[in-house]
A and B are shown apart, each in its own frame.
Chain A
């Protein structure tokens, strides 16, 4: 049963600290997405990659967020420095078709 995995599942940190979230896409999926879910904004697309190349990161605050795919089995989302307003659930998703995306369980981030 192929699934997208995300680590950590929960992260509590203090303002100003660096946060790194990791995602392992489903083997063979060549498109990877990062989303953020908040009560106010719902599900927002932060960035996505196709064949490891970043295609769009317009949804991401550039000054503090960065997303990379060091290899086909790992995607990372970093926040440095973190702020309380970054508190949210961050989802990674992967896919191959134009539209269907398989989501991971999410990382719940709390910045104090």
Chain B
């Protein structure tokens, strides 16, 4: 049973436009959410996070939105750049343990 779902395996956008990556979760105990970015042959790197007490967190070109009632979060990248082309993983955590539950990832391709 997948608790964190990224239903779009891939997304292609034009440079300069907005990229929107989506993530849904089922476990209502999750209270902290993260996005990781992964380039080929490298490990995932932390991008941005959001606590369940907020509905938005912004860091430069990256904004994460959280809709708790819908159990949905999204990552917006504006403007998209070719260097943003990577696999993006959504992850969630809840309670006092250190476990992150990851989605399967979305491959973002930003075309010049």
| B44 adjacent to A43 (CB under 8 Å) | yes
| B43 adjacent to A43 (CB under 8 Å) | no
| A106 adjacent to B97 (CB under 8 Å) | no
| A48 adjacent to B99 (CB under 8 Å) | yes
| A43 adjacent to B102 (CB under 8 Å) | yes
Residues of B within 8 A of A45 (CB): 99-102
Q: Give chain A's interface secondary structure class.
A: strand
Instruction: Check B76 for interface membership: any CB of A closer than 8 A.
Output: no
Interface size for chain B: under 10, 10 to 19, 20 to 34, or 35 or more residues?
20 to 34
| B43 adjacent to A42 (CB under 8 Å) | no
Q: Which B residue's beta carbon lies closest to that of A93?
A: B43
Contacting A at CB under 8 A, from B93-108, are 93, 96-105
Question: How many Å lie between the Cα of A98 and that of B101 in the bound state?
Answer: 13
| B98 adjacent to A31 (CB under 8 Å) | yes
Residues of B within 8 A of A42 (CB): 89, 102-105
Residues of B within 8 A of A33 (CB): 98, 100
The proximity string for A residues 32-76 relative to B, scoring 1 for CB distances below 8 Å and 0 otherwise, is: 010100000111110010100001100000000000000000000
Instruction: Check B62 for interface membership: any CB of A closer than 8 A.
Output: no
| B105 adjacent to A103 (CB under 8 Å) | no
- Residues in chain B within 8 A of chain A (CB atoms): 32, 34, 36, 41-46, 49, 89, 93, 96-105
28 contacts between A and B (CB under 8 A): A31-B98, A35-B102, A42-B89, A42-B104, A42-B105, A43-B44, A43-B89, A44-B102, A45-B101, A45-B102, A55-B97, A55-B98, A56-B99, A95-B98, A98-B96, A98-B98, A99-B98, A100-B46, A101-B46, A101-B100, A102-B45, A103-B36, A103-B44, A103-B45, A105-B42, A105-B43, A106-B41, A106-B42
